[in-house]
């Protein structure tokens, strides 16, 4: 299964990091699939169609591309920057009703902006190839900071359609995805009045209140670190408690490779992997992996000590540990991952930003942090025989 972590390869904003090309694990490598009908529906109730624009940006496996208003894929070019220094890749909505486009085989994002267009600059990446500096709504100096915008993420390949709504970086615009094909699936839908509830819940959580940016957005706590809006040592006591808890008892982490058993030794949480292929039978252990104490940054970005390589051993264990720290279950539950959401976010030191996102969705699923796909709690859907995708701006 392609997840957000493999789908976009940890895309962040900025010129250097904007090169989606070659980074998305889901980037198409087989013969091209037919364009997938994409319907965009504006049910926001706050902005008319004439004040909403969409942007289809990403890569086709070889280069950065965007989709034009008439539905054609076109390569990004530095010459696309206009006199103001920015591209105009905006696709206006139809005057009334849904707007339908063809989504070519590509990996990328569907951005929506309300009230004003986005300022997206074409830049040269580290190899001198055209790329894009994506909007970074959590950076006060970003040209799009004052623009109401948000995005969904997708990979469309000959093998299927993989997509999700995301709050990993920020939350601003309520979005829902409906994917029809072999099944009929919807994700991301907020409960009635939930946008306001998200703002209120995050504001009420101790240490999270400064992440509110007026009525425009709530930024993720990880992005609050560099701007001084979130405490750099927030998770330190919770991390200490978890590492101490397993000095005298086992912590088990079950992944697709089997069950890893760990204890804290010399300040490191060290796991011995299962034996034999996928833990079945004899032979040498699949692997031994050890983790130093992560920082708050590592927990929030699911990176650093908790980086999750696609290696079948360290990566899956790191993902489970990261999810457990965000959900505040690591110190209290010796068998991971915890699959009962009633146990999540019950401790004072938890990712209460993510808690607010999950509480707001009608199915309880959200991408509040990068490892939210652990145990299947992410707002992610896929279909291997897709017929159409609908992105809906739901009521504010």
Tens of pLDDT, residue by residue over 149-171, are 999 999 999 999 999 999 999 99
Token pair 């696309």 is found at 80
**Which pair of structure tokens corresponds to residue 12?**
């962040």
Percent residues over pLDDT 70 in the chain: 89
For 280, left (φ over 0), alpha (ψ -120 to 50), or beta?
beta
Are 90 and 55 within 8 A, CB to CB?
yes
- Identify the burial level of 115 via C-beta atoms within 10 angstroms of its C-beta, where 0-12 means exposed, 13-18 middle and 19 or more buried: middle
Q: Which of 230, 247, 346 is nearest to 299 (CA)?
A: 230
Per-residue pLDDT of 31-62, as tens digits, reads 557 899 999 999 999 999 999 999 999 999 99
Predicted pLDDT at 363: 96
CB-CB neighbours of 44 under 10 Å: 22
- In this model, does residue 15 exceed pLDDT 60? no
For residue 39, the surrounding DSSP H or E stretch is strand 36-42
- In this model, does residue 105 exceed pLDDT 80? yes
Per-residue pLDDT of 207-218, as tens digits, reads 999 999 999 999
pLDDT bracket for residue 284 (50, 70, 90): low
pLDDT, averaged across the chain: 91
Q: Tell me the C-alpha distance between 365 and 92, whole Å.
A: 30
Per-residue pLDDT of 310-368, as tens digits, reads 998 999 999 999 999 999 999 999 999 999 999 999 999 999 999 999 999 999 999 99
Q: Tell me the C-alpha distance between 164 and 382, whole Å.
A: 9
pLDDT bracket for residue 20 (50, 70, 90): very low
CA distances from 288 to 306, 308, 314, 352 (A): 15, 15, 8, 32
Q: Please give the CATH topology (third level) of the domain spanning 4-191+359-393.
A: Thaumatin (2.60.110)
Q: Which of 85, 241, 178, 126 is nearest to 379 (CA)?
A: 178
| Mean pLDDT of all residues in 179-207 | 98
| Mean pLDDT of all residues in 190-200 | 98
Sheet of 170-171, strand order: 170-171, 217-219, 212-213
Q: Pairing mode, if any, of strands 380-383 and 160-165?
A: antiparallel
- In this model, does residue 307 exceed pLDDT 70? yes
Are 80 and 74 within 8 A, CB to CB?
no
Q: Tell me the C-alpha distance between 21 and 132, whole Å.
A: 11
pTM of the model as a whole? 0.90
Are 371 and 1 within 8 A, CB to CB?
no
* HSE of 300, CA atoms in CB hemisphere, 13 A: 26
Q: Which CATH architecture has domain 236-348?
A: 2-Layer Sandwich (3.30)
pLDDT bracket for residue 19 (50, 70, 90): very low
| Mean pLDDT of all residues in 362-378 | 97
CA 171-176-179 angle, to 5 degrees, is 140
User: Structural domain boundaries of the chain?
Assistant: 4-191+359-393, 236-348
User: Phi and psi (nearest 5°) for 158?
Assistant: -60, -20
Per-residue pLDDT of 243-273, as tens digits, reads 999 999 999 999 998 999 999 999 999 999 8
DSSP annotation of 212: E
Q: Which of 193, 164, 180 is nearest to 394 (CA)?
A: 193
Q: Which of 129, 136, 85 is nearest to 109 (CA)?
A: 136
Q: What b/e readout covers 122-141, taking b as 16+ CB neighbours within 10 angstroms?
A: bbebeeebbbbbbbbbbbee
Q: Tell me the C-alpha distance between 58 and 372, whole Å.
A: 23
């Amino acid at each position: 299964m392609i997840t957000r972590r493999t789908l976009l390869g940890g895309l962040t904003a900025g010129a250097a990091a904007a090169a989606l090309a070659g980074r998305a694990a889901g980037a198409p490598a087989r013969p091209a699939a037919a364009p997938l009908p994409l319907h965009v529906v504006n049910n926001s109730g706050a902005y008319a169609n004439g004040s909403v624009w969409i942007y289809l940006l990403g890569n086709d496996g070889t280069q950065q591309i965007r989709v034009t208003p008439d539905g054609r894929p076109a390569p990004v070019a530095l010459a696309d920057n206009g006199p103001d220094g920015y591209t105009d890749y905006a696709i206006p909505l139809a005057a009334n009703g849904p707007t339908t486009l063809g989504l070519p085989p590509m990996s990328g994002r569907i951005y929506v902006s309300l009230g004003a267009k986005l300022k997206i600059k074409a830049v040269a990446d580290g190899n001198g190839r055209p790329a894009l500096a994506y909007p970074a709504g959590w950076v006060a100096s970003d040209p799009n900071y004052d623009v109401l915008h948000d995005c969904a993420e997708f990979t469309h390949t000959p093998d299927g359609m993989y997509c999700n709504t995301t709050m990993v970086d920020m939350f601003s615009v309520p979005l829902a995805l409906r994917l029809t094909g072999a099944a009929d699936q919807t994700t991301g839908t907020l409960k009635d009045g939930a946008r306001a509830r998200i703002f209120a819940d995050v504001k009420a959580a101790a240490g999270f209140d400064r992440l509110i940016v007026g009525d425009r957005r709530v930024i993720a706590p990880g992005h609050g670190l560099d701007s001084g809006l979130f405490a750099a040592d927030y998770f330190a006591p919770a991390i200490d408690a978890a590492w101490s808890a397993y000095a005298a008892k086992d912590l088990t982490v079950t992944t697709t490779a089997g069950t890893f058993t760990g204890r804290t030794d010399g300040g490191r949480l060290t796991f011995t992997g299962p034996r034999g292929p996928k833990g079945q039978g004899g032979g040498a252990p699949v692997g031994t992996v050890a983790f130093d104490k992560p920082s708050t940054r590592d927990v929030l970005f699911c990176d650093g000590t908790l980086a999750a390589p696609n290696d079948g051993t360290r990566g899956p264990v790191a993902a489970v540990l990261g999810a457990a720290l965000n959900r505040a279950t690591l110190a209290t539950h010796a068998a991971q991952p915890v699959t009962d959401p009633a146990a999540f976010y019950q401790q004072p030191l938890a990712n209460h930003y993510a808690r607010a996102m999950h509480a707001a969705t009608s199915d309880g699923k959200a991408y509040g942090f990068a490892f939210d796909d652990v145990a299947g709690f992410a707002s992610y859907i896929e279909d291997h025989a897709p017929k159409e995708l609908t992105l809906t701006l739901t009521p504010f």
